[in-house]
Amino acid sequence: MWSDNRIGRRQVVTGLAGLGTALAAASASAQAGSDPHAGHVMNDAPPAPPLSGAHRAVIESTAACLAAGRVCLARCTDHFASGMKDMVDCQRAVMNMLAVVGAMADVAGYANAAAANVRSLAATCAAFCRSCADACEPHAARHEECRACRDACLDCAKACEALAA
């Protein structure tokens, strides 16, 4: 009942030995060259231009805005969960601001998008930051988190407006 299609133990061992030899040779070949980019010709690629002051300001202000916004969102969520219904507008504004500012932070950090798209996104980001600052304003006197978020949003809006101009 044995079929002639079965692979014998000797064939398996021989195949594994051949595979091991091939892998060892490939590993030795890869380790022989110390430059992982050997063969890549980059002589004709221009260096990346330096970032403008406005671009750097957006990168820095979006990072600060995201940090303050996350703390504010956590505080809004706690207050809203405990029954403070007046936090709903603040919470929603922060959630939306975080999404847009996160996108702006990514695009600004990549520094490779078309200038017109960066300006458009920066203008949009500024608008979301100003909306968030407006929503945080009523709570800023009582809650440090809302005050910090408002201030960070206003700084980010100014930086984005400068880049959008």
In the chain, where the domains are located: 55-164
pLDDT of residue 159: 98
**In the CATH hierarchy, which top-level class contains the domain 55-164?**
mainly alpha
pLDDT of residue 11: 72
Virtual CA dihedral for 122, 125, 126, 129, nearest 10 degrees? -160
Looking at per-residue confidence, does 130 or 4 come out higher? 130
* pLDDT surpasses 60 at 74: yes
- Local confidence band at 29 (pLDDT 50, 70, 90 cut-offs): low
Looking at per-residue confidence, does 12 or 124 come out higher? 124
* pTM over 0.85, yes/no: no
- Local confidence band at 46 (pLDDT 50, 70, 90 cut-offs): confident
pLDDT of residue 5: 62
Question: Which CB contacts under 8 angstroms, 24+ apart, belong to 89-92?
Answer: 89/135, 90/135, 90/136, 90/138, 90/139, 90/146, 92/135
Q: Considering only CA atoms, which of 115, 127, 132 is closest in space to residue 157?
A: 127
pLDDT of residue 31: 57
Least confident range of 36-40, 56-60, 99-103, 113-117: 36-40
